Chains A and B, each alone.
Chain A
């Protein structure tokens, strides 16, 4: 009978183990689709220097035209493409006029390939290189819509319209929070041009490419247009407060903000008992920063006690520095079971980037914040899974214990039999 009871106990354990096995999380995540049409604005330098014949034996202009024709053919259907020129119309020497010379060659919208190609064919190298003003106008062209926005700047010389620094223009455009990326391509670049174009790209999280051959130009522009067509999650702009009491309350989602050098940002998140808060943050270096930087994200109670922190530090060339934290709120024991109260967790965010000499400190560096409130983890009651053992030592001990137990049992029953016989 004892044996039967024990068998029942074994079945119970088996069932418990099975249930534990079935209660697995299923990450039901679906595939991606676009919410709104992505927009791309190609900005082409048509300044006088485009006449030089140093790309595969043909002029830079001819190479650009050939590349544009191929790109226009390969543009995905759902991408709204526009073309803007700079330095295409004013051949004179007056800097003031020359630096206003930027025009929309083909408006951003559904693409008519024949029309766009015809427009490109009319271009002839002419004037100045007003990159800054062209970028501002190009950003205006892309206004509206919720899809991704991208400017592809193709230039063969640095900006000739000082004092307006195109790099700062790019940063201002990025600070508008419209989620615009600027990619730059330099045709047969020199050092100064490389620096300027890559500065423009870095300011908006874009990329810089040097181009020496026509096919490189075609491939890269195609790649960038395709990249614009890839659906991505658009972050929601938020503004953190300098203290927790005034901080915005965030739900699960993706957010952007800006933090100036030395500024701290606070956000609030409500976490119910039995739920887990996951927060991650990345601070982007969109300008020249000194080597040596860090980011600190603290989860603090409303009373100012730190719960958990995520910190990261680094040095050298980087695009972002990021960290994250997890805070599982325990199931309350003494709470009213019907109405568990959510705890307000304050998130404090600081970064320790410092601006390199001569770099503007406003607007602040872009931040990206991911908040997820998910079910809490099942706690760990032992170091090993389910407190199970493993290894030869375990086997040895079990065998030894079993053997000793058997011996004792045997002697005990012999002794009992002996006692019974004596009586």
Chain B
């Protein structure tokens, strides 16, 4: 128990020291001046967009539009998309799909991932909230891991008469920090960024890369979570309670003539 106490005190100090560095790891909404105005048309050409940025694109109905964004452990990203449709059109069904860095489809917990716009509707709104991203998972699991995520926006139900009509799309990715309750043990050596191994470091600037995406302040190392604070505070409280318990047995002061 005393060990716990000491451990707690040591970790509390550490936790306090590290806290300011962690506090600003939440994505801050950045100005839209640098926001992408084009979308890619495949995994390979996906346009990179940061969290909190609103990316726009003009396209034709029937195009497959791809964006990619970084998501780190402990985050629960929500993807939102709005498609503005032309003045006259038939009923169209639009859908967003999210894939991880291994191009595995990731399930949406909730949010209207697929929606049908009635004929003549001006726009259609889609959303998808992913599962919380874990720092580690078994290779046999399909859990979302830190790395590049791909977002595909397309019309899945489209009458031929609407094929190729001009549409414009707007997507935005925001993430909620879930915190220590999602902190799992273990970590990947590299985030799931495709092409991470293919690029020799020296001439990396000489050619295109599959994905050069990274959160604003780098990938989290994965060791910090508020579990340190809980455990440390728990240790400190245990120590106090111990002192209290001890004091109770002594009554008031030491026995006379010891």
Q: Which residues of A contact B (CB under 8 A)?
A: 6-7, 9-11, 13-14, 17-18, 20-35, 186, 189, 191, 194-195, 197-198, 205-210, 216, 219-220, 223, 226-227, 230-233, 235, 252-254, 276, 278-282, 308, 310, 312, 314, 316-320, 322-328, 368, 370-391, 394-395, 398-411, 413-414, 417, 421
Interfacial residues of chain B within 178-203, with CB under 8 A of chain A in the complex: 180-181, 183-199, 201
The CA of A380 and the CA of B246, in the complex, are separated in Å by: 38
In contact, A198 and B163 (Cβ under 8 angstroms): yes
B237 contacts chain A at the CB level, 8 A cutoff: yes
In contact, B183 and A398 (Cβ under 8 angstroms): no
The CA of A32 and the CA of B46, in the complex, are separated in Å by: 14
Per-residue A-contact encoding for B87-118, CB less than 8 Å = 1, 0 else: 00000000000011111110000000000000
In contact, B191 and A25 (Cβ under 8 angstroms): yes
Beyond A35-B207, A317-B158, A375-B190, whether A380 also contacts B43 by CB under 8 A is no
Which residues on the B side are within 8 Å of A399 (C-beta)? 234, 237-238, 240-241
The CA of A153 and the CA of B230, in the complex, are separated in Å by: 63
Which residues on the B side are within 8 Å of A421 (C-beta)? 258
Query: Which DSSP category, helix, strand, loop or mixed, fits chain A's interface?
Result: mixed
In contact, B103 and A372 (Cβ under 8 angstroms): no
In contact, A312 and B207 (Cβ under 8 angstroms): no
The CA of A341 and the CA of B131, in the complex, are separated in Å by: 38
Query: How many residue-residue contacts, CB under 8 A, span A and B?
Result: 342
Which residues on the A side are within 8 Å of B19 (C-beta)? none
In contact, B102 and A390 (Cβ under 8 angstroms): no
The CA of A389 and the CA of B237, in the complex, are separated in Å by: 14
The CA of A219 and the CA of B198, in the complex, are separated in Å by: 35
B221 contacts chain A at the CB level, 8 A cutoff: yes
Interfacial residues of chain B within 151-210, with CB under 8 A of chain A in the complex: 154-158, 160-161, 163-166, 180-181, 183-199, 201, 204-210
In contact, A208 and B62 (Cβ under 8 angstroms): yes
In contact, B64 and A319 (Cβ under 8 angstroms): yes
Beyond A14-B14, A209-B60, A380-B185, whether A189 also contacts B249 by CB under 8 A is no
Cβ contacts A to B, 27 pairs, < 8 Å? A6-B6, A9-B3, A21-B221, A21-B223, A23-B221, A32-B212, A33-B208, A35-B206, A191-B160, A207-B62, A210-B163, A223-B58, A231-B208, A279-B102, A280-B103, A312-B104, A324-B104, A325-B102, A326-B139, A370-B103, A374-B189, A377-B187, A386-B227, A388-B228, A399-B234, A400-B241, A417-B255
B56 contacts chain A at the CB level, 8 A cutoff: no
Max chain B CB contacts within 10 Å: which of A209, A227, A282, A390? Answer: A390
The CA of A310 and the CA of B81, in the complex, are separated in Å by: 28
The CA of A130 and the CA of B14, in the complex, are separated in Å by: 74
Beyond A372-B196, A377-B136, whether A406 also contacts B241 by CB under 8 A is yes
Max chain B CB contacts within 10 Å: which of A308, A322, A417? Answer: A322
The CA of A414 and the CA of B248, in the complex, are separated in Å by: 12
In contact, A320 and B43 (Cβ under 8 angstroms): yes
In contact, B164 and A198 (Cβ under 8 angstroms): yes
Per-residue A-contact encoding for B69-86, CB less than 8 Å = 1, 0 else: 000000000000000000
Which residues on the B side are within 8 Å of A280 (C-beta)? 101-104, 194
Beyond A372-B195, A402-B241, A403-B241, whether A233 also contacts B246 by CB under 8 A is no
Q: How far is the CB of B130 from chain A (nearest CB, A)?
A: 16
